[in-house]
Structure formats: C-alpha cells, structure tokens
Amino acid sequence: MRWFTRRARTPRWIRGTVALALGALALVSIADPSSSGASSSPRRPSMTEPSGIAHVSATPGPLKSLGGPPTTLPNAPRKSPEPQPPGAPTTTFPTSPQLVAQGQSLYEDGCASCHGTLLQGIHGNAPSLIGVGAGPVDFYLSTGRMPLDNPRDEPQRNAARYTREQMNALIAFITKVGGGPAAPAVNIANGDLATGFHVFVEHCAGCHQLVGRGGLVVGAHVPNLQQASALQVAEAVRMGPYLMPHFDAKQINQYQLDSLAKYVLWTRHPSNVGGWGIYNIGPIPEGMVAWFIGLLALVFVARLIGERMETR
Amino acid sequence: MTDGSEGNGPAARVGRGLGVLLALRTAWRAARREEPVGGPPPGSPPGSGGADGNGSDRDPSERTVPANPRAELLVAGLLMLAAVAGVGFILVYAIVQTNTQLLGLALGLGLLFLAAAAIVAGKFVVPQETSVEPRDVLLKEEPAEEVVEIIEAGGEGISRRGLLTVTGGLAGACVLGAAAAPIASMGPPAHLLHQTPWRRGIRFVNEDGTVYAASDISIGSFYTALPEGGNPDSLGAGILVIRLPSVWINLPPARHDWAPQGIMAFSKICPHAGCAINLYRYPLDSQTVNAPPAFTCPCHYSTFTPGDGGKLIFGPAGRELPQMPVMIDSDGNLRCAGPFDSDIGPSWWGVRRV
Amino acid sequence: MVGGAAGLKLIQRTLHRRFERGMRYTDQRMGGAPALKWLLRYVFPDHWSFLLGEIALYSFLVLIGTGIFLAVFYIPSQNQVIYHGSYALLRNQEMSEAYRSVLDITFNVPAGLLIRQAHHWAADVFIASIVLHLIRIFFTGAYRKPRDINWYIGLTMLMLAVLEGFAGYSLVDDLLSGMGLVIAYGVALSIPGIGGQLSSTIWGGQFPGTGSFFSRLEIVHVFLIPLALTALISIHLATIMRQHHSQFPGPGRRERNTVGTPMWPAYALRSIGLMLAVAGVLFLLGGLIQINPIWQWGPFHTYLSENGAQPDWYIGWLIGALRLMPNWEPVIGGYTIIPNPFWGGAFFPLVVFGIMYAWPALERKFTGDRRRHDLLDRPRDRPNRTAIGAAFFSWVVIIFAVGSTDRIFFRLHIPYTGMIHFWRIGVWVLPIVVFFITRSAARALKRSESHPLRGWQGQVVSRGPDGAVRVLEGDGNATPEIPPPVGTVPGHDYPEQKPSE
C-alpha cells in the first residue's frame, strides 16, 4: 500500500484511473444513441441545405399533374395528400428535359422493380408514386431511406445512395410523370426556438423524445433527428413517412414549421449548461454514470483506505 | 447510433458491446490485482490453520510510528492544493457566478485534495496500529431476567388485570382512531374519480383555445383536443381526435354513430398507469406495412387500435382505451356527444369498465 | 532556527494545556471521558468492503447539505404562471410555480445548478451504495445473528431512500417527473380495495390533485423521510458499535474479538478522507456531468408525454415490471379486483423486499444455525446461499434491464414486442440457470482456493487418502492440482449444511 514509496510497480491509482477511463469509454459506447454510429458515419449532417436545390418560391402556382389526378387504391387508405395552402412557400427543384431523361433511366434502374415502370406501384410491394409530389421523393432519397433492398424492410435513415444531381433528376422525372404537390419550404431564420420547442413537445416528443433522440413506437423505429436537415423535417411533417402521422398547415402553420425545424436543428447541440450532456436521453445514462463512474470511483477510494483481508 | 444500420448488423453491435465489456473486465482486473509483495500471500485457505479459521494464534497487535517526512510533505502539499482550489471556488463564484463546470471543478478538486491529505495522513503519517478488542457477550442472563421482574412487579396488587388490559386496549384504539380521523380531510371520497370535464355539447378546442371544426381533422394525423372552458390539466380533459377512412372502422354496433365522417375521439390518458398517449402510427402505405392505425402509450407501450373502438393489441393495459362519442354541430364544429364509454385514467377497484 | 523550534515547543505545550483544561471542563459536566475513550479505541476491521455503508452515510450528509440549500429556493406550488425568465426556449410558456422555481435555481441562483446537480448525483450514488452494501452484507452472511435487526433496519432505509428519491425528483414538476408521478398515482389507485380512496386522499382528489399536493410531497421529502432516515441511521450505527463490526476470518481473528485499526487516529483520518472524497466526487459529477436537465424537458401537463421516458435508476426495476406484466386485470362482480399496475408497481417490490426481510429467518430455519456469528463467510464457502442470492439478484436485475428495453430496441434493433415476450419467460428461466452456474462455480472455487480475479495466490493444505498432510504451492497463476478432499480438513470451520448446534 505504500504506493508513493514503491516505484517498481505501476501505482494502483494509475491503474484505477485507467480503469475509470475505460469505464467512461464503455459508457460512451454503450449508452450513446448517436455516438459510435454517427461518428463513424460517412456523412455528417450539415446545417445548411445542399446546394443545387432549395429554390424557395412564395408563389403557390397551380399544381401541374401530368399523370392525371392522384389515385388511391380502394383498400389502401392513405394520408390525405397535402397540397401547400395558398401563400405557403414551396421548394422548387430544378428541372429540365435532360434531368427528366436522366431521372427516367435512374428510375428504371433503381425504382421501377418495386414501384412499377409507370409509377403505378405494385400491389403488396410498393406504393404508387403518382401524385405524391416532390417532397416525399426528396425526403426518401436524401435520407437514404430509398432505394430499399427488401421492400418489406422498414426504411431507415442511411447514407444517400444518389448524388444531389441524381436526386434532382429523379424528382424531376417523378413529378413530371406523376404530378403532385410541390415540396414544402422552410426558413429557420423566420422561426423562433421557444415556439419550436412548444410545437415539438405537443406534436413530436411523444414519438421522437423531447430532445429528438428517437425511440420506438410498437411496430416501428422512431429515428433520432440530429441528422435531419430543416427541409427534411418540413417534408416529413407534411408527408408523414412510414408510420408517422402527418401534420397539415391547419395544425402546424408555416411559422410553426419554421420554428419546429429551428428547434430540431438546435437539438444537435442542445443547451447543456450542466456539463457533459450524456446524450440527453434522461436517466438511463445517468444511472450508469452514478454506478460506473461515481460509485466505482468511491469504491476505488475505499480500496485505498481499507486494507485488504490479509493473513500476515 | 444512427437510425440506419449502416452495414452494422445487430451481431456486430453485440460483438462490439462484448468487446467493450471484456476490455472493462481486463482493466478492472489490472486495477485490482494485488501483486505479491513478499510475505505470505493473502487469502490463505481457512483449512490451513487452527480454530476460527485463522493461521496462527500469534497476537496480531502491533503499533508502528511511520515517521515519514516525505509523507508529511505530501500531506502539506495536498492541503495547499486544497486551499488553492477553495480560493478558486470563491473567485469563480464571485466573478463568473454561473459557470457550473468551473464551480464544480474547483469545489470537487478542493474536497478531493483534502480527502487525499486525510487519507495519506491516516495511512502514512500518524501511528499505524492494529489492535484487538474483545467482543461483548450481548445476552447477559441476569439483567435480562431482572428487567422482566421489574416490569412485572409494577402490576403487583392489581386484581382485575384482564379488565384493565381490555378497556385500556379499547380506549387506546378509539382515541388513536379519533386522532387519525382528520387524515380523511386530505382528500374527497373516491367516487369523484369518475368525473371528467366533458359534458354533451362541449366543443373541442386546441391548446390555444381555437375550436376544432370537422374539416380541420385530416386522415393520417392526430389532434389533441381539450374541453372548451374546462380545466386543461384535469386528468380527463385531454382527448385524441382522429379521422379514419371507413375501411379501418370496425366499431361495436352500439357505437355505430360515435364517429361521424370517420372522426373519433378517445381519452388521451392511458387506462394502464395514466400517462398521456402521444404516439399515433398511421401507415403511409397500408399495403406494404402490416400495421393498422394505433395509439401507443410511451410509458409502458400499451397499444390500442382506434378503429376497433380502442381495443388493446399489445402491452400491459387491462382494459380498452375509453372512447367518447363525437357530434358535428350545424357550424361544422366538433362537440362532445356524451360521456366516455368507461372511466378515464388508471384502473381502480370501482372503475367503470366497458 | 533554534528560536523557531523553541517557539513551536511552546505552542505545543500551550495547546496541550488548553486541551487538558477543555477535557476537564466537559467531563465535570458530562462525565463523558470513559465513553470517549471507548470510542477512540473502537476497532475497525480492515477491509474495503466495510466502507460501502460509509459511502452511503456520507452521501446522505451531502444530500442534507445540498438539500437545505435547494429548499430555501423551492416553491411547492401548482399555480400556473407564465415564464419570463432567462431560459429563452421556455419563455411565455405556462408552467407551475414549482417548475419555475427550479428553473430559477438552475439559471439564476449563483451555484444553484451545481448544488442541484450534486444533490441529484448524491441521491443516485446514495442508493447505489446502499444496494452494493446490501449485496456485500448478503453474500458474506453479515446479516446473521446478532445483525439481523440491523439487516431489517437497512432494508427499511433502502425502501425509504427509494421513496425519498422519487419524491425528490417528482417535486420539480417537469414533463418527465410528471409522467413518473402519474404512474405513481396509477400504482396507488391499483391497490386492491383501498386504492381509490388512498390516492384520492394523497392527491386531494383526482390526479394532478389539489393545489396543496406539492406542499404535501415537499413535507414528505424534506422532513418526514429525512427524519426517519436520520433516526434509523442512528440506530443502525449504534447497533454496529454495540456489536462491533463483523470481520473476515484471519490470523488472530475470532468470533469473540475484533482485529483492526482503532478509531484514533488512523481510522478517523481515513474515514474523514472518505467523507471528503464522497463529497468531492459528487461535486465533480455535479459540475461536470449534466443530470436531469429539466429545462430540456419542459413543463408538465396531463395531456403531454414523451417517448423513452425513464425514471431514475432506482425506480427502473418497477418500470421494467410494469412493462413486462401481461395485461391481466381480473374483474369480479363489476369490481376490478386487481388493477394491472398493482402487479409491477406494488406487488413486485413487496415480494422483493418481503423475501429479503424474511431471509435471515428462512436461513435459520433451513440450516438450523441459530448461533451468533461475528466472523464472515466467503461467498464460495456457502455455495447454496451464494447461488440463491445470485439467482434472486439476477431476477431483479433482468426485470430492471427490461425497463430499458425501449433503448435496447433503439440501439440494437431487436424488436420490442419480441423482447417483451421473450423475457416474460426468460425472467423465470434465467435465474434458475444462474443458480446452477453460481453454485458449481462456488464449489469449484472452494475446492481450488483460487481467487476469481487475482488468480492463485495461496497454498493448499490437503490431506490425502493416506491421511498424510501435504502442502501444495501455486506458481502465481495456476492453481495446483488438488486431490479431492477427504473428510473434514482439520480446523475447517465452514460446514456446508446443518452445523451441529
């Protein structure tokens, strides 16, 4: 025990510190909902929209529906298609004949096997894309949820399979053939964090957790939102991807949407004035810290104080 | 972790977790290993010696005076560091005030330096002593008997011992009961638990007080409504309002007119333990996702299908989600058409069930 | 130099005289010198695991100190007010005065957040150290006569501590704590027969209750339970001092003595060191690691909730039980006999504590061992007890872990419903497996006498079939080959079953 008079061996306090550090490391790895995956993730979310899109127009403009009116299968109740209300800003994606042609070939390679060559969908396999509009297509492609290897899988966030230009091409093709409403637009500069938090608590926290750390709904995975861009938030709110409900402008108006997106971006770096935020998911990591950092450190002190059972 | 699996199967995650645990265990072993330092090793088996499982009968008492100037110097140094940290805390407190990290660091380190000084002093500066202290025999027969005798002697000369015991017990119980009775003024009788602020004709409003019209309710979304003019924080106040297409609606015959235009209302309070149900799933595409629209309580994940009138499909809740009939008035606004079909809130002995 | 030394000597002499005079002063009035002498010479056996209870004790002191500071600022009121304070994200929100007062402690009171976080960490560590202490007591058999009363007192304190912690974080009235409180309301309601009236009485009506509910909870949190804990801690310590600490077997250590370090001076300094270390670690945690960031949760309203809501760790076993329970809710004659939350929220903890309360008596009954024990067992020397304990604790720990299955689902993508269905069976099967594994491991260790963490460090004395005594030496890593024991090894005081009384 005379640790400072004996030099030959590694002092116990060093070994203890190493053990504590490793304990903390293990905590990071075990408890973190976003660290290991996110840090090794090839793509970091950026606060700004990818260039090449996000041309926001405040004029509603009549919706062009080249593929005829949106159809719903009789036994497939869908969420009501949500055209942007008059006056709401929309995001316009670039389009040109070349893009449409490029999009068509990409579509035939990557999407047609499930969604059908005419966007009509294949019963029991994938829904029709007629009338969905630009928002859902951009959302599913830019979050890497599509294309899906197995149509029965739950689409989950992933590295985007297409470049921005390819996505624009697909959007151009699908909206040209299938029509549908324009994508929503969002401008976080118009939003207010307090409003965003309030709206988030009321409509989103039930599934996504208060700081957007995700969770579960029976039957599906609720993603964390730290990688979502503002536009993706808006698209998801208006569309309701997978099992998520959607929220129209009567429920979440444009100002509230801007605020909501601002809050979601804020959750990437929430206000952790208390110190290390331990992932902002509440008591589970707190309990781990109490046991494996707090109590472990104190047991280590107790080991220094109390002599071992000895038989000298 | 991300919401995508990114090439990491569950197996890889489990493997990584196990690896971490293994590393932890190794580190823990390294930290705990007591290298043999001469002398016989600790932990000799009890089988190696005489009675009481000890090695020898040699008296283990010893007293050594360390007289260790280096240790004294170390203690003094630690005390100085503690003093510095203490001053640091006061400075941070006076100047920065609300920087919790600096405050905690200064105070925590100050205390830890003091702790280190005390421990080093306790182990290496003051005399180290191993001494032997005998243990008392706890039960001493004579005094114990005397106590019983003394107590019993107090009853000497009393002839109606039984009568006094019975009346004394009765009086004690009654007076204690009287003293405890005011506890009842803490709360009203339990039958008030049946109450909700909803009455027939009350309109649905949102959190800001705006009245919900039937046209506000769209398929695939969910709405939290409160009673107009009612206390929003009352347990029965919050309701979930949704609109379902007819294919999903399969209400019991008695409730056939409870969902005009497919608009339905349910208590927002889970009938299991009372949490607010704030999860609604509605498939974007019902062909590829085999999941009917459902409410899930985020506390214990009881899941109810509104189309069947709030039937439980998973989780611990012991009864259905209470449903409230809806009507649409001439202005197109939503109103309560009658009481819930069962009591809202967690179950209890007298709860009204469907 | 010489003058300095002389001066020091003078100071020392003066101090000595002062000290003597002070001692006489108090002794003439209190007569406490013999008791003080006894206390100063009180012997503490040396083993680190005897300090776990002290960690709990010192955490409790930190809790009281920080708690007094917080109580000075807290307002126990459910009145709804509009927030205009310094945290931008909550501005203009309607919230209770209680929640606003804790926001003010957090953001406006200098060092308020540090104290609040240290208080919360102290609560988490307090209960964790009690549990670790309990595990140590159990597996070394330290609850046996004459310490069974102290075992009961300790269990009572653990229950009170859990209640105290729950009451503490419920006072804040943030969204997370409100969700916990409504579950507590559901559990109180679920008590057969009396639940409705009981919860109506506690809350002053239906949840969230009358305006006085937080005053009631505050009295419980800052007065009633701390008072009860203080009284029980005093009895706990007085009993220990009366009986003296138990000790592990070793040279010179017998049932009838204690061998170790006397209180003064070495042990007192070490114990003070531990106290300061507890405070230091708790304040370091309080300053550096965020706990219960209530500003991120927002105010509670009955119609709000969030996904992944969790209680503090010491309530986690109850949420696990609530989630695991199938949806049984028997109804007879229109009355709901046993509402579902009763099973997980009330029955399960009653069973766990009931078993622990009953254990010393059960063990006495089954082993017939009614003797006084002051020497501790090593866990391996009692394979049956160790195995039963391991199985029991694994049962509780599994249910505890089920309480976080939603995060496990999120992290590992194992379907939640599948996990629940699996563990509804597994929670009964796995402890049995643990029982047999632990028992055979304990027996193997007992045979080999190697330490599971330190490797082989001893020597084995064994008597072969021929009756000759042999000493086997280990090489520091491996255990020597040991012939199976024949009969009783002389001096071996660890009878496996039914010692002859």
- Give the tens place of pLDDT for each residue, A199-249: 999 999 999 999 999 988 888 889 999 999 999 999 999 999 999 999 999
Residue A301 near chain C (CB below 8 Å): yes
Chain C hits for A216, Cβ within 8 Å: 307-308, 406, 409-410, 416
By C-alpha distance, the chain A residue nearest B23 is A22
Strand partners, C470: C462
C288 vs A276, A280, A311: nearest CB:
A276
Chain A positions in Cβ-Cβ contact with residue C120 (cut-off 8 Å): 286
Which residue in chain A has the smallest CA separation from B48?
A311
Q: What is the Cα–Cα distance from A130 to A123, expressed in whole angstroms? A: 14
CA dist C329 and A199 (Å) reads: 36
Helix residue ranges per DSSP H, C368-496: 383-402, 405-412, 416-448
What residues have CB less than 8 Å from A60, skipping those under 6 apart? A84, A85, A86, A87, A88, A90
Closest Cβ opposite residue C302 in set B235, B312, B318: B235
Backbone φ, ψ for residue B173 (5° rounding): -65, -45
SS3 sequence of A177-236: HHCCCCEECCCHHHCCHHHHHHHHHHHCHHHHCCCCCCEEECCEEECCCCCCCHHHHHHH
Chain C: closest CA distance from residue A1 (Å):
13
Instruction: State the smallest CA–CA distance between residue B79 and chain A in angstroms.
Output: 17
Residues of chain C positioned with their CB less than 8 A from the CB of A277: 290, 293
pLDDT at C398: 94
A305 contacts B122? CB cut-off 8 A: yes
Among residues 15-34 of chain A, which lie with CB inside 8 Å of chain C? 33
All partners of chain B with 3 or more CB pairs under 8 angstroms: A, C
Decide: A83 and A180 in contact? Cβ < 8 Å. no
pLDDT, tens digit, 9 for 90 and up, residues B84-105:
999 999 999 999 877 999 999 9
Q: C83 φ, ψ to 5°?
A: -80, 130
Give the B window 118-137 contacts with C, CB below 8 Å: 118-119, 121-123, 126-136
**Which regions of C80-177 does DSSP assign to beta strands (E)?**
80-82, 94-96
A124 touches chain C (CB under 8 A): no
At position A212, the amino acid (one-letter code) is G
Phi, psi of B14, deg, nearest 5: -60, -40
Neighbours of B147 (CB within 10 A): 10
Chains that touch C (3 or more CB pairs under 8 A): A, B
| Chain A interface includes B23 (CB < 8 A) | yes
B259-268: average pLDDT:
95
Contact C266 B127 (CB under 8 A): yes
Note the maximum CA span of chain C: 97
Total length of chain C: 501
- Enumerate helices (H) and strands (E) in chain B, giving the number of each: 5, 13
**Residue B230: CA atoms inside 13 Å, Cβ hemisphere, count?**
25
Q: Which residues in chain A are closer than 8 Å to B298, comparing Cβ atoms? A: 206-207, 215
Band (pLDDT 50/70/90 cuts) for residue A36 is very low
Give the A window 170-209 contacts with B, CB below 8 Å: 202, 205-207
Q: Answer yes or no: is pLDDT of A179 > 70.
A: yes
Cβ partners under 8 Å of residue C374, min gap 6: B135, C243, C244, C246, C247, C255, C256, C258
Measured between beta carbons, the chain A residues lying within 8 angstroms of C297 are: 210
- With beta carbons under 8 A apart, name residues in chain C contacting B38: none
What is residue A62's predicted lDDT score, i.e. its pLDDT?
Answer: 35
User: What tens digit of pLDDT does each residue of B244-261 get?
Assistant: 999 999 999 999 999 999
Rounded to a whole number of angstroms, the distance from the CA of C16 to the nearest CA of chain A is 29
> Of the candidates C274, C372, C449, which has its C-beta nearest B45's C-beta?
C449
Is B74 within 8 Å of A4 when comparing Cβ atoms?
yes
B263-267, strands of its sheet edge to edge: B204-205, B222-227, B239-243, B263-267, B323-324
**For C169, nearest residue in chain A (alpha carbons):** A283
Closest by CA position to A136, among listed A193, A165, A174: A174
Chain A residues lying within 8 Å of C113, measured CB to CB:
273-274
**Cα–Cα distances in Å, from A234 out to A129, A134, A138, A163?**
19, 12, 11, 21
DSSP annotation of C347: I
Q: Are B276 and B350 in contact (CB under 8 A)?
A: no
Please tell me the distance from the alpha carbon of residue C379 to that of residue C438, in angstroms, as a whole number: 10
Higher pLDDT among residues B14 and B187, named by residue: B187
| pLDDT tens per residue across span C266-321 | 999 999 999 999 999 999 999 999 999 999 999 999 999 999 889 999 999 999 99
Residue A161 region by backbone torsions, left for phi larger than 0, else alpha for psi between -120 and 50, else beta: alpha
- Nearest Cα residue to C481 out of C440, C437, C450, C438: C450
Identity of the residue numbered C284? L
The average pLDDT across B45-58 equals 44
Residue A174 pLDDT > 90:
yes
Whether residue A76 has pLDDT greater than 60:
no
Q: For B55, which residue in chain A has the nearest alpha carbon? A: A311
Q: Taking the model in full, what pTM does it have?
A: 0.86
- Residue B310: what pLDDT? 94
ipTM higher than the 0.85 cut: yes
| Least Cα separation, residue C30 to chain B (angstroms) | 25
Among A46-50, A155-159, B313-317, where is mean pLDDT lowest? Answer: A46-50
Inspect the interface and report whether the beta carbons of B31 and A206 lie closer than 8 Å: no
Cα B67 from Cα B72, distance rounded (Å): 9
Subunit partners of chain A (3 or more CB pairs within 8 A): B, C
Q: What is the dihedral of CA B294, B297, B298, B300, to 10 degrees?
A: -120
A246–B221 CB contact, under 8 Å = yes
A window 182-211, beta carbon within 8 A of C: 193-194, 197-198, 201-202, 205-211
Instruction: Please judge whether C316 and A197 are an interchain contact, meaning their C-beta atoms are less than 8 angstroms apart.
Output: no
Pick among B22, B224, B279, B314 to test the A interface (most A CBs inside 10 A): B279
In the numeric block, the tokens 């739950």 are attached to A154
What values do phi and psi take at C104, rounded to 5?
A: -65, -40
Supply B177's token pair: 């009961």
For residue range A108-132, what is the model confidence (pLDDT) as tens digits? 998 998 899 888 888 878 888 998 9
pLDDT the model gives residue C407 = 79
φ, ψ of residue B177 in degrees (nearest 5):
-60, -40
Q: For B160-176, give the DSSP string.
A: -HHHHHHHHHHHHHHHH
Grade residue B285 by pLDDT with cuts at 50, 70 and 90. Answer: confident
- Chain C residues lying within 8 Å of A290, measured CB to CB: 121, 124-125, 128, 313
Given a contact cutoff of 8 angstroms between Cβ atoms, the answer to whether A86 and A253 are in contact is no
For chain A, how many residues are written? 312
Distance CA A258, CA A195 (A): 9
Instruction: Report CB contact under 8 Å: A242, B289.
Output: yes
Note the pLDDT of residue B257: 92
Residues of chain C positioned with their CB less than 8 A from the CB of A220? none
CA atoms of B79 and B73, how far apart (whole Å): 10
**Residue type at A309?**
M
Which residue in C75, C82, C91 sits closest to C171, CA to CA? C75
pLDDT at position B284, please?
85
String of DSSP letters for chain A: --TTT--SS--HHHHHHHHHHHHHHHHHHHH-SSHHHHHS-S----SSPPTT--EEE----PPP-TT-S----TT---PPP-PPPTT--EEEPP--HHHHHHHHHHHHHHTHHHH-TTS--BTTTB---TT--HHHHHHHHHTT--S-SSTTSPP-----SS-HHHHHHHHHHHHHHH--PPEE---GGG--HHHHHHHHHHHTHHHH-TTS--EEETTEEE--STT--HHHHHHHHHH--TT-----TTTS-HHHHHHHHHHHHHTTS---TTSB-GGG--HHHHHHHIIIIIIHHHHHHHHHHSPPP---
Contact criterion met (CB below 8 Å) for C176 and C183: no
All residues of chain C having their beta carbon less than 8 Å from the beta carbon of residue A301 are 273-274, 277, 281
Q: Is C258 helix (H, G, I), strand (E, B) or coil?
A: strand
Interface contact A240-B284, CB threshold 8 A: yes
**Ranges in chain C, pLDDT < 50:** 456, 474-477, 483-501
H or E element: which one contains C33? helix C33-40
How far apart (Å, rounded) are the C-alpha atoms in residues B206 and B241?
A: 11
Q: In terms of Cα–Cα distance, which of C427, C347, C442, C349 is closest to C394? A: C427
In this prediction, residue C469 carries a pLDDT of 59
Put simply, the chain B residues between 151 and 180 with a CB less than 8 A from any chain C CB are none
Of the candidates A300, B346, A230, B300, the one whose C-alpha atom is nearest the C-alpha of residue C329 is B346
Q: Which two tokens stand for residue B77?
A: 């140094």
Instruction: Record the tokens describing residue A148, joined without a space.
Output: 């899906």
The rounded distance, in Å, linking the Cα atoms of C282 and C2 is: 46
Question: Inter-chain contact C457–B41, Cβ cutoff 8 Å?
Answer: yes
Average confidence (pLDDT) over B208-224 = 93
Nearest to B248 among A19, A77, A216 (CB): A77
Q: What is the pLDDT of residues C146-165, one digit of tens each?
A: 999 999 999 999 999 999 99
Cβ-in-10-Å burial (0-12, 13-18, 19+) of C156 comes to middle
Question: For A259-303, what is each residue's pLDDT tens digit?
Answer: 999 999 999 999 999 999 998 998 999 999 999 999 999 999 999
Q: Kindly give, in sequence order, each residue whose CB lies less than 8 Å from that of residue B117, ignoring residues fewer than 6 positions away.
A: B75, B78, B79, B82, C273
Give A 274-303 residues with CB within 8 A of chain B.
274-275, 300-301, 303
Q: Which helix (H) or strand (E) holds B129?
A: strand B128-134
* Alpha-carbon span B344 to B230, nearest angstrom: 16
Among candidate residues B235, B102, A39, the one with its CA nearest the CA of residue C305: B235
**By the CB < 8 Å criterion, does A237 face chain C?**
no
